[in-house]
Copies of this chain bind each other. A is one copy, B any other.
Amino acid sequence: MRLDLPSGNNGVATITLDSPKTRNALSLDILNQLKTAIAEVEEHVKTSVVIIQANSKDTGVFCSGHNLKEVIQTRKDRDAQQLLFRTCSELMSSITHSPKAVICKVDGLATAAGCQLVASCDLAVASDRSTFGTPGVNIGLFCSTPAVPIVRAVGQKRALQMLLTGDLVDAETAERWGLISFSVGKGEIDAAVDTLAQKVALKSSTAIAMGKAGFYDQLSDDLDQAYLKASDVMVENMMEYDAGEGISAFLEKRAPVWSTAER
Interface residues of A (CB under 8 A from B): 68-69, 71-72, 75-76, 78, 81-82, 85-86, 88-89, 92-93, 96, 101, 122-124, 136-145, 147-149, 151-161, 163-166, 177-182, 196, 199-200, 203-204, 206-208, 210-212, 214-216, 218-224, 226-228, 230-235, 237-240, 242-251, 256, 258
Q: Which residue of the partner chain, among B72, B93, B223, contacts A223 with CB atoms under 8 Å?
A: B93
Q: How far is the CB of A186 from chain B (nearest CB, A)?
A: 21
Interfacial chain B residues near A203, Cβ < 8 Å:
137-138, 140, 164, 166
17 A–B pairs (Cβ distance < 8 Å), ordered by A = A69-B251, A72-B251, A85-B231, A85-B235, A92-B227, A123-B160, A137-B204, A137-B211, A139-B243, A142-B211, A145-B230, A145-B233, A148-B218, A153-B156, A157-B179, A157-B180, A163-B211
Contact B211 A165 (CB under 8 A): no
Secondary structure at chain A's binding surface: helix, strand, loop or mixed? helix
Interfacial chain B residues near A223, Cβ < 8 Å:
93, 96, 148-149, 152, 216, 219-220
Interfacial chain B residues near A232, Cβ < 8 Å:
82
Interfacial chain B residues near A86, Cβ < 8 Å:
231
**Other CB < 8 Å A-B pairs besides A82-B231, A147-B215, 13 of them?**
A68-B247, A72-B244, A137-B203, A141-B246, A143-B211, A145-B227, A147-B214, A148-B226, A155-B178, A161-B181, A165-B196, A166-B203, A216-B223
Contact A151 B239 (CB under 8 A): no
Q: Known A101-B164, A247-B68; judge A240-B140 contact (CB<8 A).
A: yes
Q: Known A139-B256, A148-B230; judge A215-B163 contact (CB<8 A).
A: yes
Interfacial chain B residues near A148, Cβ < 8 Å:
218, 223, 226-227, 230
How often does this chain occur in the complex, in copies? 3
Interfacial chain B residues near A75, Cβ < 8 Å:
238-239, 243-244, 247
Interfacial chain B residues near A207, Cβ < 8 Å:
136-137, 140-142
Contact A247 B71 (CB under 8 A): yes
Report the 9 A-B pairs with minimum CB-CB distance, sorted nearest first: A142-B211, A140-B246, A139-B246, A140-B242, A89-B227, A140-B204, A85-B231, A144-B233, A220-B222
Q: Which of A123, A141, A163, A244 neighbours the largest number of chain B CB atoms within 10 Å of its CB?
A: A141
